[in-house]
Amino acid sequence: MIDIKDVHKKFGQKVVLDGVTTQIQDGKTTVFIGPSGCGKSTILKIILRLIEPDSGSINVDDQDILKYSQKKIDDFRSTAGMVFQSAALFDSLSMWENVGFALLEREHKKRDEVKKIASEKLRIVGLEGSEDLFPSELSGGMQKRAAIARAIAQDPKLIFYDEPTTGLDPITSTVIEELMKKLQVDMGITSVIVTHQHSTIFNNADIITMFHKGKVYATGVPDEFINAKDELVRNFIEGRVS
Ligand SMILES: Nc1ncnc2c1ncn2[C@@H]1O[C@H](COP(=O)(O)OP(=O)(O)OP(=O)(O)O)[C@@H](O)[C@H]1O
Ligand SMILES: [Mg+2]
């Protein structure tokens, strides 16, 4: 479990996170929702130590990861995959090199071995045979799947997906939703999905966490959101979400 307590973050004068307290349960899918600009991507980057918060604590196995040494940050990152809001593939690298990037650059594994692992990950996401293609040769949906293949390259215990289905047609979205579910259920990967997309929320969430004005506004199982009386939650559920 990841135990996030009272995390604050300002960019300049702008308060983005104003005391975020929430938990991410092991082995489950937690979906983060909330209006554009409310800090959802920021909190993911803080957990991965890509952005430093101003204050707060984030405990994993009873240790505050905000106090980790660089070595422990690197170890933690190798157990956590991230699918960024843009697929963020390297245009000049082939698919297998993209997928195996951390294995080549951080773990210094041999190219033959990495290509084998990358092929297996590409197969899991339904992109077998694309090892030697370049990102520009793939559709947006395929690039998202490739980004997921890269996120699972180091067999993570945890994956963060930042808007994995945004901008995709409904069929491709469903493919990605099923893939995220498969990784969580079959491989037991704890998953955090940031999304605005209704289908993704209700197809994937075990727990929904709603952010508003720099804080967690509501947390619950999907049924609690569907049956909620609160106006902000209702607006969201009825699709009046920004
Ligand atoms: N590195 C940065 N420097 C300055 N401001 C930033 C930085 N990163 C984020 N912000 C600001 O913090 C706020 C929250 O950004 P964030 O990307 O976390 O929002 P979000 O909830 O993910 O929004 P969206 O749903 O549109 O992706 C925004 O106002 C953004 O402009
Ligand atoms: Mg975002």
Q: Which amino acid is at 160?
A: F
Average pLDDT, integer, range 156-180: 92
**8 Å CB contact between 225 and 42:** no
Distance 167 CA to ligand 2 centre (A): 13
The Cα angle at residue 136 between residues 51 and 112, in degrees rounded to 5: 80
pLDDT tier at 242, thresholds 50, 70, 90: very low
pLDDT at 167: 82
Q: Is the CB of 124 under 6 A from ligand 1?
A: no
Whether 214 lines ligand 1, by a CB cut-off of 6 Å, is no
Mean pLDDT of 61-71: 93
Task: Determine the average pLDDT of the residues in 82-86.
Answer: 86
Ligand nearest to the Cα of 17, by number: 1
Q: Does any ligand 1 atom lie closer than 6 A to the CB of residue 40?
A: yes
The atom of ligand 1 lying closest to the CA of 35 is 25
pLDDT band at 236 (very low <50, low <70, confident <90, very high): confident
Q: Is the pLDDT of residue 83 over 80?
A: yes
> What strands lie across the sheet with 63-64, from one edge to the other?
14-24, 2-11, 55-60, 63-64
For 120-145, what is the mean pLDDT? 92
The more confident residue out of 236 and 39 is: 39
d(CA 85, CA 164): 7
Distance of CA 110 from the midpoint of ligand 2 (Å): 35
130-154 average pLDDT score: 92
CB 168 within 8 A of CB 140: yes
pLDDT above 70 covers a percentage of the chain that reads: 99
Best of 40, 82, 197 to mutate for ligand 1, by most ligand atoms within 8 A of CB?
Answer: 40
Ligand 1 pocket, 197 CB below 6 A? Answer: no
Determine the distance separating the centroid of ligand 1 and the alpha carbon of 36, expressed in angstroms.
Answer: 8
10 Å CB burial of residue 236 (0-12, 13-18, 19+) is buried
d(CA 147, CA 95): 10
- Tell me what pLDDT residue 237 has: 78
What local confidence, expressed as pLDDT, does residue 240 receive? Answer: 62
Q: Whose CA is nearest to atom 18 of ligand 1?
A: 39
Tell me, using a 6 A CB cutoff, whether residue 37 lines ligand 1. yes
Which atom number of ligand 1 is nearest to the Cα of residue 12?
4
Average pLDDT of the chain, as a whole number: 93
If pLDDT is split at 50, 70 and 90, which confidence band does 168 have? confident
Neighbours of ion ligand 2 (CB under 5 A): 41
Judged by average pLDDT, the poorest of 63-67, 82-86, 178-182 is 82-86
Region of poorest pLDDT, from 85-89, 102-106, 238-242: 238-242
